[in-house]
Structure 1
Amino acid sequence: MKTGLKPVLWSLAALLLLLSLVLPLFNLISLLLMMVPLVVLYTTLPPKSFALHMIPVWVLAFVIGGPATLIIGLFFLIPSIVMGHLYMKQASASRVIRTVGVVFLAQLMLELLIFEMFLDISLLKEMGSFVRTMFDDLMTRGLVPADWNSDFTEVIIHTMINSIPVAFIMMAFGYTVITQFLARRLVKWSGGPETPRFARARDWRLPRLLVVIYLIAYVMEMFSSTTSDSFFAVALLNLIPLLSYVFAFQAIGFFFFLAHQRGWNKAVPVLIAIPVLIFPPLSLIGVLDTAFPIRKSFTKP
């Protein structure tokens, strides 16, 4: 067993992150960082040593924090192992993001299924009940328009439930990107292998085929029913916002390219990225950047 100081410190970090899940405000930060020490430990230790470091962490988490803490810790174990394995294989950053993101997404969907089939808890029904109760309370207090009725509430619930796939995809992608950004640096600091970095933001380019798919989906959505539960309608409901986010990142890449060409301060494109991500219509910049060679107009001769 490798008993150097750094593995012990990372094991301690994993334990502290698990135990801090019971603390308000700290639990969100803990969830965002949960995979980082696990990825570092798996990448820098042999499998048996990794297991020997993690067993006391899980035992202490169970004794101090209870079974819920242990369950959450085990949830993040599989994607952490997958990411660490890809690091050791020197996989590209894009492959790491795709693979770990899919694993994370599959676990989220499996979790819904387990709650429904084995624990007899429908998270979708619970969400619907919560929204109905909230709007009923708002109606009682007179905080919603006078013409608001239960039909409007049901439309909101229907849209929220059918939008869960895109929410899960964005959650899996965002979580994987944050972990990748932090873990690859900390793996190197801990004596692990050099791992490929992200492509520079100014070099991000999407295939033009996505523009065609986006336009077709947008036109089809205009003629589809907003209350339909068919697979086709639900797919369109999720595809449009998902592609909008994809093109929003392309727009951010364009502003990083522009900043590089014009010699702007590096903080400028970072600040521009905030409104681009918040306001979906600004993703149109990414659509134009993908569809047309507008960067040539800004390229230095």
Structure 2
Amino acid sequence: MKQRWTTVVWSVIYLILLLSLLSGFSIVTAFLLILPVAILFTALNVKSFILHILPVWLVVGFIHPIYVMLAAYFLIPGLVMGYMYRKRAPAMRVLKYGMSAFLLEMLLLLTVGTAFFQLNLSEYVDEIVKMTTAPLQEMGVNSGVAGQIWTPENLEMLSQRTMQMVPFAMIISSFLMTVVTHALARPILNSMGYSVPALKKAREWRFPRSLIWYYLLIWIMSAAIKDSSNTFIEMIVLNAMPLLQFCFMIQALGFFFYLTHQKKWHPIIPFLAAIPIVLFQPMIILGILDLAFPLRQSISNKKR
């Protein structure tokens, strides 16, 4: 009986989150919308899951059909993660499959929109850039700064760069949505009696050493295209460089958690260290050094 009421509550939460997508809270609620689906699909069999989801879809569809389309979009990653939770798959595998489902959906939507609905992503990105920079231009009108910075040429260059970095935005957004969902779903499902494997402890986070060679290759490519007009190579560099730097940032955080554990420092130390690592890009050198050299092994040996 308790579980039945719990799943009903999550159906209500699912309804509220869907209705909030067209409100000012959509930026926050979009990151939470997979959570009810993953929890319900884990806790219920297929028939019961449909009986919980269908009334929600009927209600939101009665209000506006767009809610059903949005619900369908977020449904598939939730089903994938819920299925993996049922199988008690390792946490990293859950994240990989959930993130892959998001990316495939995004690519499918872009393909269908471009092929059948004449979606022009370049024009859409250009409009977003103009809408975003408009307040900044108005702020600088009196001082004359806006005319020097927000020239038509600079705006066009910004639009082109933004368009080129769409793949990076897709990867990061799918990653963040999946991580947020797992971080919330695991304790909730554990409290409901479902065992969900945790991610490795932060001090055990390690990427393959081959990332260093990828980073070196991308750095060479970026130097080679400075005076080149090869937009395809430029797009690869613009997306791969920040992705690799993001990985090195996580590696650096893992190193600080490991160092704190070995030295028995206060647990807040790695969280304080995260501030300069996130804010100052050169700090990623710690992650690169941690991959290139056996720093953790040397710290462990010194402790002995």
TM-score norm. by structure 1 comes to 0.91
CA-CA distance at 1:164 after TM superposition? 0.7
The answer to whether the Cα contact below 8 Å between 1:226 and 1:233 also exists between their aligned partners in 2 is no
1:1-301 maps to which residues of 2 (within 5 A)?
4-24=4-24, 26-64=25-63, 66-132=64-130, 138=137, 141=141, 142-144=144-146, 146=148, 149-192=151-194, 194-225=195-226, 228=229, 230-299=231-300, 300-301=303-304
- Residue 217 of structure 1, CA deviation: 1.2
Residue 90 of structure 1 aligns to a residue whose secondary structure is: coil
What is the CA distance between 1:8 and its match in structure 2? 0.7
Distance 1:257 1:21 in 2: 40
1:38-73 CA distance string (max 9 Å, x none):
101000100111011100011111223x12222111
CA distance in 2 between counterparts of 1:223 and 1:85 reads 45
**Does the 8 Å contact 1:166/1:238 carry over to 2?**
yes
Counterpart residue identity of residue 77, structure 1: L
Q: Distance in 2 between matches of 1:151 and 1:176?
A: 37
CA contact (8 A) 2:215 2:244 kept: yes
CA offset at residue 179 of structure 1?
A: 0.6
TM norm structure 2: 0.90
Deviation at 1:30?
A: 1.4
Q: How far did residue 134 of structure 1 move?
A: 5.8
1:195-226 superposed Cα distances (whole Å, 9 cap, x missing partner): 21100110111111111111121122111147
- Count the aligned residue pairs: 297
Change (3 A) 1:176 1:136: closer
Q: State the 1:135 CA deviation.
A: 5.4
- Taking the aligned partners of 1:293 and 1:101, their CA distance within structure 2 comes to 31
CA contact (8 A) 1:155 1:227 kept: no
Asked whether the 8 Å contact 1:44–1:191 carries over to 2, the reply is no
What SS class does the counterpart of residue 254 from structure 2 fall into? helix
The residue type equivalent to 2:293 in the other structure is: F
Instruction: Give the secondary-structure state (helix, strand or coil) at the position aligned to 1:274.
Output: helix
AA in 2 matched with 1:79:
P
Check 1:224–1:62 CA distance in 2 against 1; reply closer, same or farther (3 A cut): same
CA displacement, residues 243-266 of structure 1 (integer Å, 9 cap, x when unaligned) = 000110000101111111122222
Cα separation, 2, equivalents of 1:160 and 1:283: 24
Residues in 2 aligned to 1:133 and 1:5: alpha-carbon distance in whole angstroms: 45
Percent identity for Structure 1 against Structure 2 = 35
Judged with a 3 Å threshold, the aligned counterparts in structure 2 of structure 1 residues 280 and 145 are, in CA distance, closer, same or farther, namely farther
What letter corresponds to residue 11 of structure 2 in structure 1?
S
The 1:147/1:169 distance shift into structure 2, 3 A limit, reads closer
Deviates more, 1:232-241 or 1:147-156: 147-156
The farther-off stretch of 277-286 and 155-164 is 277-286
Task: Write the letter of the residue equivalent to 1:102.
Answer: S
Task: Give how far 1:20 is off.
Answer: 2.0
SS at structure 2 position matched to 1:197: coil
